Amino acid sequence: MIFPSPLKAGDTIAIVAPSGGITCRASFEEGIRILHEFGFKTKFPRDLWPGREYLADTDENRSNELKTIWNDPEVDAVMAARGGFGCLRITAQLQSTTFFPQPKRFIGFSDITLLHSFLNEKHNLVTLHGPVVTSLSRLNQKSLLAFRSALIERFDNWQCSFQPEILRDSHSCSGISAGGNLSTIISTLGTVCEQDWKNKIVILEDTGEPLYRIDRMLTQLKLCGKLDTVSAILLGDFSHGLGLDRIETMRHHDAIWERMLDLTDENVTLWADVPVGHGATNFTLPLGMKITLDSMKGVVAHR
């Protein structure tokens, strides 16, 4: 595992758009303001990105942007502008190129899941599953503090405390962290971008998906054998964007938790209500790093 150095005041975070373009300039500008308030400089194209419809730019330009930024000596960390769709179109290309990224902290989630697994598995680089620039302004205070801490603290001191719902308990479980957005992960099955989950602690979240689609995706993971080799699964938020009230949200989540219990073996640790997702609560968690779950204390830590 390669641990990128922590950031300090005055360091530069470069913003890249490997997926969709900016659809709401106000949320992008507010995210940049928050990064500046934290004491960081930012670097991004003056005209943002010229893409139309659902892509920020051409595949070649998005891929080249990522490679150029990674090797820019003035850049200390790399953060995605937003998610959407597009990483699948360039990650396969990156797999076959001589791209050797410098060890810099990389942050993003949702469609950015694909770049996390590419950097974790091909380059042994520990990355940060956390907000994109356009989602920073929607985060609650605890999530913003978790994000800032993940940027400035050393990985060997990292830990995160919260109150998960323990669905199945093994008291103490260790493994390399992996996972991300469920529908994005499903799109990689049978491709060169497919994640290796053997003995991993897998984080899963999704947004705006009705229950039958979540069931179908989880069932597909089971039939592909992906759920048979994991050490643990951490289930985040699956309800944002569905217009459900609090009771309906609880029922929606409970149905997903029950389905995951049915699909996994008794030796697989299962936590739910893990604070990751597309809503206001989205803690920043490392991927590609050995972590330990302590269900007695509700702590995830590097061990």
Q: What tens digit of pLDDT does each residue of 12-50 get?
A: 999 999 999 999 999 999 999 999 999 999 999 988 999
What token pair was written down for 143?
Answer: 């999530």
- Supply 224's token pair: 């592909």
Alpha carbons 275 and 129: distance in angstroms, whole number = 12
- In the chain the beta strands, taken as DSSP E runs, fall at 12-16, 41-43, 77-80, 105-108, 127-129, 159-161, 165-168, 172-181, 200-205, 232-235, 269-272, 285-287, 290-294, 299-302
Q: What is the pLDDT of residue 13?
A: 98
Mind listing the pLDDT tens digit for each residue in 233-277? 999 999 877 777 888 889 999 999 999 999 999 999 999 999 999
pTM equals 0.95
Other beta carbons within 10 Å of 221: 23
Residue 280: pLDDT band by 50, 70, 90 thresholds? Answer: very high
Residue 229: count of CB within 10 angstroms of its CB? 13
Identify the CA nearest to 269 among candidates 204, 172, 125, 156: 172
182 confidence band (pLDDT: 50, 70, 90): very high
Q: What is the pLDDT of residues 107-146, one digit of tens each?
A: 999 999 999 999 999 999 999 999 999 999 999 999 999 9
Residues with Cβ within 8 Å of 128's Cβ and at least 6 positions away in sequence, in order, are 105, 106, 107, 150, 151, 284, 285, 286, 287
**Pick the residue with more confidence: 217 or 95?**
217
Mean pLDDT value of segment 67-72: 92
